[in-house]
Structure 1
Amino acid sequence: MPGGRQPHGNHREPEIDTDEFETIARITERETEGVRLEFIDGRMTMKALPDGNHNRIVIWLLLLSMPRSPGLFLHQNQGLMVESDRCGRARPDGVLAPLEAFVGTSKWAPSDQVITVVEVTSRDSETNRRDRIEKPRAFAQSGIPIYLLIDRDNTEVVVYSNSNGEVYQQVCQYAFGLQVRVPVPLDLTIDTAPLQDWVD
């Protein structure tokens, strides 16, 4: 069924289908400033509004990635079609992809040109389930090479990589302040010392 979700893998019966979600998201985001909705594992969730430190971390990553990743750009709040059936809808805090990757696409774009997705944890009740459980699976199923989680609650950076089409087979955790190794296709090392100032 176009736009719908076919049962597969670990997915449970969805609350609504993808077309219904997109309609709800379009109306809600148009009428309510700052609201961001996502649809992962058949469940609609609302992302918390980012606070100042959250935004500062995203800007830090943007400035860090530009000189080290020629031809790529960290797009903010770009909607992606995710999961193995592409019926999921995610809006990561950052999407590292070619500068022109999303030109001409809709609000929810294919993820085939995405190199890395970035999430910075927010202080809301959905953080654990959404950012640490559902999204790693959804991004791995989408074939996105790297998922970078800036986990402010646990003061660590988690690098997910080497997807087998279902899950990321390599998960490396680094405490804030350490040098973080991000594997190919990025292949760079990040000094995370600044993150220690933006935990709260």
Structure 2
Amino acid sequence: MTAIADRPQMAPEEFEEFARIVTHTLEGMRVELINGKVRVKPVPDGDHGLILEWLMRVCIQARPELWIYDQGLKIETYRTGHARPDGTLAPSGSFGGQGEWVDADAALMVVEITSYDSDTDRRDRKEKPRSYAETGIPVYLLIDRDSCEVKVHSEPGGGRYGKIEMVTFGMSVTLPDPVGITLETEPLKEWVR
């Protein structure tokens, strides 16, 4: 991923227009604004999509009143942040009428699945957990294909998650309230390099 790190901070409206133009111009790329910096990342690969499909099936079977959305979130409003998680679990219908970038208030959990690019460590393991915790999103689920681990971040407060539970692929893990879903992670072993 390439960052335009030295660019001055943008107003939310400027970023949204910039993201729209970049997404339509650079095929296969997505744009985010995290901690006031523009980040461009590649569109996920096929196995990445299969992991998200698996997670959607598990969630819909356990909690049919919820849905995993693929929309950008407005985060860190005081820093004009915009992140595009791989998925956002929220009550069905929560983001109706909001457009491409939605308020994170209804988010129960955000999901990131690591990509095989040079920026995934900084983006998915450092910047995003902090940004999601600062926003007060109750659960951050990181499916880490490099370490073959599922990392469940919960109890946001003070700009960080107070609890992190890690299990290796193949073990079960229960996502804490307000999610309350148990994941049997054995299938994840099939979707790593």
Does the alignment reach a TM-score above 0.5? yes
Name the residue aligned to 2:140. Answer: 147
Alignment of 1:88-99 (within 5 A): 88-99=81-92
- Counterpart selection for 1:196 from 168, 189, 192: 189
Name the residue aligned to 2:150. Answer: 157
Unaligned runs of 5+ in 1: 1-11
Asked if 1 retains the 8 angstrom alpha-carbon contact of 2:112 and 2:142, the reply is yes
**Deviation for aligned residue 1:46:** 1.1
TM-score (ref. length: structure 2): 0.92
Structure with higher helix content: 2
Q: Secondary structure at the match of 2:16?
A: helix
**Deviation for aligned residue 1:102:** 1.1
TM-score (ref. length: structure 1): 0.89
**Deviation for aligned residue 1:70:** 2.7
- Counterpart selection for 2:15 from 14, 21, 27: 21
- TM-superposition CA deviations, 1:88-117 (whole Å, max 9, x none): 100111110122111100211100001010
Asked if 2 retains the 8 angstrom alpha-carbon contact of 1:143 and 1:165, the reply is no
For 1:125 and 1:23, the matched residues in 2 are separated by 26
Name the residue aligned to 1:3. Answer: none
Moved over 6 A (4+): none
- Counterpart selection for 1:35 from 29, 38, 45: 29
Name the residue aligned to 2:104. Answer: 111
- 1:54 to 2:59 alignment: no
- 1:126 to 2:119 alignment: yes
- Cα RMSD (Å): 1.7
Asked if 1 retains the 8 angstrom alpha-carbon contact of 2:59 and 2:181, the reply is no
For 1:192 and 1:111, the matched residues in 2 are separated by 27
Name the residue aligned to 1:170. Answer: 163
For 1:139 and 1:147, the matched residues in 2 are separated by 7
**Deviation for aligned residue 1:14:** 6.6
Q: Secondary structure at the match of 2:106?
A: coil
- Give percent identity, aligned residues only: 45
For 1:191 and 1:141, the matched residues in 2 are separated by 29
